[in-house]
Structure 1
Amino acid sequence: MPDSLVKQMQSMLSQMRMVDLSHILEEDMPVYPTHSRYFHTQWDSFETGSPALVCQLLINEHCGTHIDATAHFLREGDPQHRYMSETELTQCYGRALTLDFSHYTDQDLVSKLEIEQWENSNQTIEEGDIVLFRFGWDRYWAPRSVNRTYVASWPGISGEAAAYLADKRIKAVGCDTLAIDSSSSSENAAHYALLGSGINIIENLTRLEEVLGESLVMVMPLKIKGGSGSPIRAVAWKAMS
């Protein structure tokens, strides 16, 4: 009797290497300058007579590794407006293509031409893909009290590049920086081009150097009513070489 589809999928995934693309949630971690910080507070413990350890989280929707709902930049009434609880889970998994721009400085923007050049040398970005940009900026991820390089400035993609990806009808775009728009971008062109096309944005990823090229990615958001985004656990499966 042939194996079930579930068993076949399990067998295939077991032959691939799983990579955690998420940063650890911890107090004093980098956050966007205008966003509230993350707090993790002990609520009850064994020492206070409780039979269990219980903590309380106070967290911004856009803290740590997270996904933007289209409602983050689009007002109600926009045809692409979706809160986090309304975002289809099909947006949150699929084939990912990771492009390496780790040679970039904090003033650089990925252009449409550079994406096309990458495609010509590697693979064509197709409808339904997830496109990830590795800038190597996670090397600067550190507690804010230690170093603020990560939140001071960062590279991103241009509005023209975002529009090019939007025309391809991909699912999501991700990066290992604080935002997909560069710190030097004043108009958030990439956010508007992507979210305005129903394409979700994943930010503050890590370890993208381990999934360059093609991989399978899954990012699971919390089902937040009225949510503009959500912290996620981002995971990739990469074929073993």
Structure 2
Amino acid sequence: MTGKWIDISQPLHNGIAEWPGDTPFQYEVKFLKAFTGSVNIGQMTTSMHTGTHIDAPFHYDDEGLKVDELPIDVYIGRAKVIDVTGLESVGRSDLEAIDFEGVERILLKTLSRPDTDVFPESYTVLRADIGSLLKERGVRLIGIDTPSVDPEPSKTLDAHHSLHDNGVLILENIVLADVEPGDYELIALPLPIKGGDGSPVRAVVRRWEA
């Protein structure tokens, strides 16, 4: 592998948009070096689903795996960035003609969320028929540059469940505006949160050179 690492994470900051009704992100320096005599100490409050994050199956399935139970290797390795800009939704028919070349991770570039400080009124989502296609192709992880693979009002979460039923884990809110389609090495490791339903990640990619 060669090339520069590209950060595809949303920077976490006070004012970043949270899922409607969820816990806003807040960071503050709780204790100043001037008072402790030695160090500054920060404090963070956040939902697990603000900014770039992974969903553990427990997020939408009471019997699903939690963050600390997930296989780490899924979040490291070769990934294919696929440009699907302009589509309102992505399903089997949009991807089945693409040669995945044995890649186990795909990242969808939709460009449907231009401002991370504003929760979008609409964004590109996945259709429920995508799960079976990804399983057929050996895909284990799908990433998308939107807040969710399902529409914001959805209570049935059809895409989440389709992916889960077909063994595909979910990475959301990545940033692909400056990433060209093609093959990359991906690192997007979750924190080992015991019993967690999700986790923030620092996601990075670099060009894959065989």
Q: Which residue of 2 aligns with 1:96?
A: 79
Distance 2:131 2:177 in 1: 19
Counterparts of 1:185 and 1:99 in 2: how far apart (Å)?
A: 25
Aligned 8 A contact 1:41 1:56 in 2: yes
Native 8 Å contact 1:30 1:151 kept in 2: no
Distance 2:155 2:77 in 1: 31
Q: Are the counterparts in 1 of residues 113 and 123 from structure 2 also a CA contact under 8 Å?
A: no
1:11-160 correspondence to structure 2 within 5 Å:
12=1, 15-76=2-63, 81-104=64-87, 108-117=88-97, 119=98, 123-124=99-100, 126=102, 129-142=104-117, 148=118, 150-160=119-129
Deviation digits for residues 96-128 of structure 1 (CA, Å, limit 9, x no counterpart):
111111223xxx1112111013x1xxx3353x6
For normalisation by structure 1, the TM-score amounts to 0.80
Query: Would you tell me which structure has more helix in proportion to its own residues?
Result: 1
User: Offset at 1:167?
Assistant: 3.4
Letter in 2 for 1:98: V
Quick check: 2:56–2:67 contact (8 Å CA) kept in 1?
yes
Counterpart among 229, 232, 236 of residue 201 in structure 2: 232
| Aligned CA-pair RMSD | 2.0
Mapped partners of 1:184, 1:164: distance in 2: 25
Change (3 A) 1:102 1:177: same
1:214 aligns with 2:183: yes
Question: 1:166 is aligned with what amino acid?
Answer: K
Is the CA contact 2:24–2:46 (under 8 Å) kept in the aligned structure 1? Answer: yes
**1:172 aligns to what?**
141
Q: Percent of pairs identical after alignment?
A: 24
Aligned pairs, number: 209
Structure 1 segments, 4+ long, off by >6 Å, are none
- Deviation by residue 1:138-158 (Cα, 9 ceiling, x = unmatched): 42222xxxxx3x432211111
Specify whether residues 209 and 129 from structure 1 end up closer, same or farther in structure 2 by C-alpha distance, changes over 3 A only. Answer: farther
Q: Which has the larger radius of gyration?
A: 1
Q: Residue 205 of structure 1: CA displacement?
A: 0.4
